[in-house]
């Protein structure tokens, strides 16, 4: 068993000039999933074009509201969110920063130099009920 593992390792020859390139879309999806798991975040806020594409495709885009700049070994992430009324915004922002940094670092190996959180709005329970009534 151990000989088989050693043999497999010997068969894999990676040259010095090999590289792995991680797209901005991949990083933004990872960040989007991490943001969606934070309590107090109602939604991510995309632009007008993002909202149109979401309506036309019928799918929620996981990277909506996330802007990413990826370098060779590091990344910078901007997150646009809508928070639930009554939540403490600094706590939500801090949790987003921690979760995004951890998820992106673990999955990509990129160093996250900044996670900027932009609160674009607050959703109240009244707005949520109105939205749900319109959908039904």
Question: Distance (Å, rounded) from C-alpha 38 to C-alpha 32?
Answer: 10
Give the pLDDT band of residue 53 (cuts 50, 70, 90): very low
Question: Distance (Å, rounded) from C-alpha 25 to C-alpha 68?
Answer: 8
Q: Which domains does the chain have, with CATH numbers?
A: 23-135 (3.30.70.1350)
Between vectors from CA 116 to CA 21 and to CA 33, what angle results, nearest 5°? Answer: 60
- Which of 36, 29, 35, 96 lies closest to 62, judged by CA? 29
Give the pLDDT band of residue 128 (cuts 50, 70, 90): low
Mean pLDDT of the chain: 81
pLDDT for res 2: 56
Question: What integer is the mean pLDDT of 46-69?
Answer: 62
pLDDT for res 106: 96
Q: What are phi and psi of 66, to 5 degrees?
A: -115, 125
Indicate yes or no: pTM above 0.75. no
């Amino acid at each position: 068993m151990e000989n088989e593992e050693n043999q497999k390792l010997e068969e894999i020859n990676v040259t010095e000039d090999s590289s792995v390139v991680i797209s901005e879309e991949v990083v933004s999806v990872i960040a989007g999933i991490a943001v969606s798991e934070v309590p107090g975040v109602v939604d991510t806020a995309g632009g007008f074009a993002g909202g149109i594409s979401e309506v036309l495709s019928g799918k929620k885009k996981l990277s909506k509201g996330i802007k990413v700049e990826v370098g060779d070994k590091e990344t910078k992430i901007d997150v646009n969110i809508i928070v639930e009324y009554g939540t403490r915004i600094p706590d939500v922002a801090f949790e987003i920063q921690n979760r995004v940094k951890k998820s992106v670092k673990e999955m990509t190996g990129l160093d996250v130099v900044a996670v900027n959180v932009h609160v674009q709005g607050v959703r109240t329970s009244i707005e949520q009920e109105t939205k749900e009534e319109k959908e039904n």
